[in-house]
Structure 1
Amino acid sequence: MTASDSDAEGDAVVYDLDPACTVSDVETGGYYAATVNGVVDYGVFVDLSESVSGLVHESTYDGSYAVGDDLVVELTEIRENGDLSFEPVDLGDRETVAVEHDYDIADIDELVDRVGDTVHLEGEVVQIKQTGGPTIFHLSDETGVIPCAAFEEAGVRAYPEVEIEDVIRVTGVVDEREDGLQVEVERLDALTDGDAEAVEGRLADALDDRAEPEETEPLVEWPALTQMFPDLREVAAQLRRTVLESRPIRVRHHADGDGMCASIPVQYALERFIEETHQDPEAKRHLFKRLPSKAPFYEMEDVTRDLNFALEDQARHGQKLPLLLMLDNGSTAEDVPAYENLAHYDIPIVVVDHHHPDPDAVEPFVDAHVNPYLHGEDYRITTGMMCVELARMIWPPITDELRHVPAVAGLCDRSKADAMTDYVALAESEGYAESTLRDVGEALDYAAHWLKYDAGRNIINDVLNVGTDDEERHRELVEFLAGRAESDVDDQLDAAMAHVEHERLDSDAHLYRIDVENHAYRFTYPAPGKTTGEIHDRKVQETGEPVITIGYGPDFAVLRSDGVRLDIPEMVSELNEEIVGGGVSGGGHLVVGSIKFVPGMREEVLDALVEKMADAELDEDLQSTVVGHEQND
């Protein structure tokens, strides 16, 4: 664009710059439409666009100008320091040509090398947070997510017309902020029509590619588990996509050893992925939260609290509503009331569990459901085993830190799968003796008991030795907690064993019963479920024969079985129908579980339960999971 530019009839061409144009869109000798933005003794300052300005020296014109006056200027010089010099021109016939900025769109993942530069970004708004100062727009493009700070005035919403999921173009300066980056916004435009569609198309294609999980080989060769890899890959893709969309992920997991062996690897993998894709150093804290559930299902108390916090975060921080990831629970009809509560909101639900499922009841509410029973397998495939593979699909570099975790999960849930031999051998190759793995499981259970509803992030990671770098602290902590757990169990059983009642069922199985409310220490470790499990284990060792153990309180019973073909979920369903007013509910695995009932119907429920157990077939080869951490506190 020069002074000689003209149309076919010789008219001069005056260029009218789009507000987004920069110095790259002008050149010396060109004629430009300008507006006076300041008057000084030595001339006037003029704007050609929002970022292109310069001086018209007083020696180049006669008369005077006022702020807001329009004129045509010629660009006479671009100095080395970037300053522009203009002269006013008086043209006769002329043609005005609109000039749009030729955007060089930057990628977010390249901005680390462009601190201090003015850049253009295009993408989708995934979060809007109003602070006491600027408005923070979190922008997602094909390569990542970055906060963009726009200032109107302190605490006032900038660009109020822009909403979450709008496609925008941002011009601003890349700035360092704590351990991340931020763009200081100079201009922000919502794109529409074809421009928006083009960006949306690019983002959709890139999102599909980036959400695709990594190809991984199983830690051990186990067809029963590897047949579930396609399901796990779909979950991995959904979780990665959720991170890329800046939707928070809330994990609810059973507060036992297997639940923690499931949730900790997934948490570690997702946090690494968040760090890779988000420039905001606070993203991990906002986008991921792990919370334990004492019951092996999603209670109304838990869902109400989760939903309340999610709605508050949406209102206060401009976040999307979260995806709910259920680990080691979430597969049963008992979860349905909580899911029905969430159904009023845009909260996807994903379940990875190994409890005996009620798919007809659950699956209308969930987006994905991974469970070994849906593949003709059973509880021997623990949730921890599945989730280690899931975590590796999300973020493979953590594999070396997870090789011992499936063995811990299997020992915690007493899995009798043949693959346990391979898992224990794999852990031993990493320096974990089988006795150490058992101690880790006991330490997890002991810590979870005292943490109650707290996730206990740091101590649990240290016990499991995932995401930590202090081996000595890990060993000493496990030794201490496992020792305390053993001592407390011994104290509990010393008091309780004398009160265990025994009878022989018609099937010839041993039945042991104990009132754990009145004949065991309360509000301490071990809780009723663990106490019942420890008593059961001792009786199995003593007799070497089929054993059923019931630990009961005023309104609950915990059930364990070895060598008897029980179907506890089915028994619970039958009891609920047969005992009017009993209020029977519960479930678990086939041979381990817990039930609840109204206190006034306890004797009727327990008597009917024993009758059903007496009718169950014996199987000397049947091994129970004896999940010692399926507690009913």
Structure 2
Amino acid sequence: MSHSPDADENVGADSDADGVPDRGTVVYRLADACTADALEEGEHYHATVNGVVEYGVFVDVSASVSGLVHDSELRGDYDVGDELIVELIEVRENGDLAFAERDLDAFETEPVAAGAEVGVAELDGHVGDIVNVEGVVVQVKQTGGPTLFHVADGEAVVPGAAFESAGVRAYPNVDVGDVVRVTGGVEHREEALQIEVEELSRLRGEAADEVREAYEERLAAAAEPPEVEPLIEWEAFEPIHEELREVARHLRRAALTNRPIRMRHHADGDGMCASVPLQTALARFIDDTHEDNQASRHLLKRLPSKAPFYEMEDVTRDLNFALEDRERHGQKLPLLCMLDNGSTEEDVPAYRAMAQYDVPIVVVDHHHPDPEAVEPLLEAHVNPYLHDEDYRITTGMMGVELARLVDPDITEEVRHVPAVGGLADRSKAEAMDDYLALAEEAGYDEADLRDVGEALDYAAHWLRYNDGNGFVNDLLDVGTDADRHEELVQFMASRAERDVERQLEDALPHVEHERLDNDAHLYRLDVDEHAHRFIYPAPGKTTGKVHDRKVEETGDPVITIGYGPDFAVLRSDGVRLDIPEMVTELTEELPGAGVSGGGHLVVGSIKFVPGKRAAVLDALVEKMADAELDEELRSTLVRDD
């Protein structure tokens, strides 16, 4: 029998010879959801008459527990609805309960809560039992049948199904953010757990404050990332790892409070190396902390972006879906996690749109940042440039460590992924040897890793805006079948190589060459006129492949421009360019040209109005001719197609 610590009323209290109040016999008042398990023979209970017969009266001691007071045990006449005090005198073999009326001069009423007091994470051990759970409502979803109240206690989340009538909102005074006490039976529902709600009460005052305080303490502890050392020792990575902990804290807290997470990542090899491990880790964390086995499916979305920044097309889609989910499913608005994009001034308009709805945003990126522009709109911002490092620390490297901070158990599955991301983005960081060694321990040589990166880029091209869940996991070999992975990568990489060779065969004869004043080679290709469109590789990657071929042929500093009617893709090797700065200068120098864009220091893309293409390209070439050569930058090209 679960008793409340405080009595709710005292009746008939006398004083003993010493003047001390005589509290008398305890009479229990059962909560409506109490079952017969809450009763004990010889104890006294408040009862209500529910039926009168010739041989006595039937009484309710809770909404689900009734018994007989035989007329030989009655002391008066009663009608339906009358109240009396009874003693349980017998529990018969068939489960019937026999009561006797008692007339007490002094008694103390003590309320009895139904079921055990349990935390959400303990529910698996109470299937079939009546339990009490206290916490905060984090989602209210109205179905065609019951109303589902998702309740969080700071450590886990459980749905409670309350039925008023089909499609009718139960407990309409209870909403998201309320502190509640739920009483009901723990049942399996489609291989998941939920509470079949018998009672749901909104707590107020001190009771609510106590529950909320305990909830916040548990939430802070559960959201705290585990102590996990980076995969390799790398001094440059130490301050970044600490900042990744803050991002992991935001992500874990969002999951624990039933806030959806929308992951936006650049649709290339490095972006996938960052996002797929994190998606896998988050899905497992959500599944571990939610009794609803569909929670990760509803709360987590991975969304590729073609541009290396958050476009208005993407943000309007995200907001539209988020607002629809709030309306249809009672979901909170999401947390937005940006990976391999999100650090530049070009992201600001989309961020301002999100700010209209108070959507929190976290960013992990390695593009050259504009911190003054973006950070006022962000909850957390991780970028190696903020620590005097650069793009050689790829987002894939950071994304793997972030995934391990969410779920350390993923470590063995992702040891090879930082090397894939590093090779995909042509990182020449000193740590690449260590990452390659880790991958070799996992059974991957460098040729294997390059094939994986090529297969990922090939898949990203054809997937376009689709996330490719499952398929991309198979390519990257994260949470998948190793045999399928090997065959799939071999197939996709060979197709990519075939398509690249076909594109180069037709494009290279049209590449224009000149030697700049700084002695660098400049190669130009009109990819709109002299490359196949709508096939692999796309203009950006075509430019990169042409650039790679010319670097290999010359062994000298090389700049390559692939251009179309209103865009140009830039690649540089061995030349000290600052493409974001060049874009800023062109914007000021060529009013009316509509110049925008950016990227890394030696790789990027710009846009302009078609009528100003010649002026923009000429101005670009002038700036490139003035750039200093830098032998240390040779062979450090980062692809960002």
What is the TM-score with the length of structure 2 in the denominator?
0.94
Alpha-carbon shift at residue 14 of structure 1 (Å) = 7.4
Task: Indicate which of 31, 38, 61 corresponds to 1:48.
Answer: 61
* Change over 3 Å in CA distance of 1:445–1:21 after alignment to 2: closer
Output the amino acid matched with 1:107.
Answer: G
Per-residue CA distance 1:420-444 (angstroms, 9 max, x = gap): 1111111111110110100000000
Residue in 2 aligned with 1:475?
A: 486
Residue in 1 aligned with 2:242?
A: 230
Task: Indicate which of 506, 512, 535 corresponds to 2:523.
Answer: 512
CA contact (8 A) 1:36 1:65 kept: yes
Matched, 1:400 2:388: no
1:433-472 superposed matches below 5 A: 433-468=445-480, 470-472=481-483
Alpha-carbon shift at residue 85 of structure 1 (Å) = 1.9
CA contact (8 A) 2:57 2:70 kept: yes
CA contact (8 A) 1:251 1:325 kept: yes
Matched, 1:542 2:549: no
Residue in 2 aligned with 1:360?
A: 372
CA contact (8 A) 2:30 2:114 kept: no
CA contact (8 A) 1:416 1:623 kept: no
Alpha-carbon shift at residue 556 of structure 1 (Å) = 0.5
* Change over 3 Å in CA distance of 1:193–1:479 after alignment to 2: same
1:210-221 superposed matches below 5 A: 210-221=222-233
CA contact (8 A) 1:107 1:142 kept: no
**Matches of 1:90 and 1:456, distance apart in 2:** 73
**Matches of 2:320 and 2:384, distance apart in 1:** 32
* Change over 3 Å in CA distance of 1:419–1:62 after alignment to 2: closer
**Structure 1 residue matching 2:483: 3-state secondary structure:** helix
Residue in 1 aligned with 2:382?
A: 370
Residue in 2 aligned with 1:71?
A: 84
Moved more, 159-168 or 34-43: 34-43
Per-residue CA distance 1:33-76 (angstroms, 9 max, x = gap): 32222445654332233344322234544886443233333332
Output the amino acid matched with 2:146.
Answer: P
CA contact (8 A) 1:591 1:624 kept: no
Alpha-carbon shift at residue 496 of structure 1 (Å) = 0.5
**Matches of 2:43 and 2:226, distance apart in 1:** 53
Residue in 1 aligned with 2:607?
A: 596
Residue in 1 aligned with 2:145?
A: 133
Alpha-carbon shift at residue 315 of structure 1 (Å) = 1.0
CA contact (8 A) 1:148 1:185 kept: yes
**Structure 2 residue matching 1:550: 3-state secondary structure:** strand
What is the TM-score with the length of structure 1 in the denominator?
0.95
Residue in 1 aligned with 2:592?
A: 581
Alpha-carbon shift at residue 95 of structure 1 (Å) = 5.4
CA contact (8 A) 1:20 1:100 kept: no
Matched, 1:381 2:393: yes
**Matches of 1:481 and 1:43, distance apart in 2:** 82
**Matches of 1:621 and 1:414, distance apart in 2:** 14
Gaps of 5+ in 1: none
Per-residue CA distance 1:336-374 (angstroms, 9 max, x = gap): 000000001121100000000000000010000000000
Alpha-carbon shift at residue 263 of structure 1 (Å) = 0.1
RMSD (Å) for aligned C-alpha atoms: 2.2
* Change over 3 Å in CA distance of 1:501–1:38 after alignment to 2: farther
Alpha-carbon shift at residue 467 of structure 1 (Å) = 0.9
Residue in 2 aligned with 1:244?
A: 256
Matched, 1:8 2:15: yes
Residue in 1 aligned with 2:534?
A: 523
* Change over 3 Å in CA distance of 1:577–1:41 after alignment to 2: farther
Matched, 1:556 2:563: no
Output the amino acid matched with 2:626.
Answer: D
CA contact (8 A) 1:14 1:72 kept: no
Residue in 2 aligned with 1:339?
A: 351
* Change over 3 Å in CA distance of 1:25–1:281 after alignment to 2: closer
Residue in 2 aligned with 1:34?
A: 47
Alpha-carbon shift at residue 89 of structure 1 (Å) = 4.3
Residue in 2 aligned with 1:614?
A: 625
Residue in 1 aligned with 2:283?
A: 271
Output the amino acid matched with 1:8.
Answer: S
Output the amino acid matched with 2:634.
Answer: Q
Gaps of 5+ in 2: 4-11, 17-21
**Structure 1 residue matching 2:68: 3-state secondary structure:** strand
* Change over 3 Å in CA distance of 1:536–1:57 after alignment to 2: same
CA contact (8 A) 2:75 2:101 kept: no
CA contact (8 A) 1:382 1:413 kept: yes
Matched, 1:295 2:300: no
* Change over 3 Å in CA distance of 1:379–1:97 after alignment to 2: same
Identity %: 66
Alpha-carbon shift at residue 317 of structure 1 (Å) = 0.9
**Matches of 2:94 and 2:588, distance apart in 1:** 85
CA contact (8 A) 1:124 1:140 kept: yes
**Structure 1 residue matching 2:528: 3-state secondary structure:** coil
**Matches of 1:43 and 1:620, distance apart in 2:** 103
**Structure 1 residue matching 2:533: 3-state secondary structure:** coil
CA contact (8 A) 1:106 1:119 kept: yes
Matched, 1:626 2:633: no
* Change over 3 Å in CA distance of 1:57–1:355 after alignment to 2: same
**Matches of 1:12 and 1:564, distance apart in 2:** 93
Residue in 1 aligned with 2:31?
A: 19
**Matches of 1:137 and 1:40, distance apart in 2:** 41
Task: Indicate which of 88, 105, 109 corresponds to 2:101.
Answer: 88
Task: Indicate which of 168, 172, 181 corresponds to 1:169.
Answer: 181
Task: Indicate which of 403, 406, 409 corresponds to 1:391.
Answer: 403
Moved more, 217-226 or 586-595: 217-226
Alpha-carbon shift at residue 86 of structure 1 (Å) = 1.7
Output the amino acid matched with 1:592.
Answer: V
**Matches of 2:635 and 2:60, distance apart in 1:** 80
* Change over 3 Å in CA distance of 1:476–1:25 after alignment to 2: closer
**Structure 1 residue matching 2:433: 3-state secondary structure:** helix
**Matches of 2:169 and 2:572, distance apart in 1:** 62
Output the amino acid matched with 2:322.
Answer: A
Alpha-carbon shift at residue 250 of structure 1 (Å) = 0.5
Matched, 1:57 2:70: yes
* Change over 3 Å in CA distance of 1:264–1:476 after alignment to 2: same
Output the amino acid matched with 1:491.
Answer: R
Moved more, 315-324 or 79-88: 79-88
**Matches of 2:351 and 2:636, distance apart in 1:** 27
CA contact (8 A) 1:39 1:45 kept: yes
**Matches of 2:279 and 2:342, distance apart in 1:** 18
* Change over 3 Å in CA distance of 1:170–1:512 after alignment to 2: same
CA contact (8 A) 2:115 2:130 kept: no
**Structure 2 residue matching 1:380: 3-state secondary structure:** coil
Residue in 2 aligned with 1:108?
A: 120
**Structure 1 residue matching 2:62: 3-state secondary structure:** coil
Per-residue CA distance 1:196-255 (angstroms, 9 max, x = gap): 111111111111111111111221221111231110111111111111111111100000
* Change over 3 Å in CA distance of 1:306–1:144 after alignment to 2: same
Moved more, 218-227 or 525-534: 218-227
* Change over 3 Å in CA distance of 1:273–1:303 after alignment to 2: same
CA contact (8 A) 1:379 1:625 kept: no
CA contact (8 A) 1:560 1:626 kept: yes
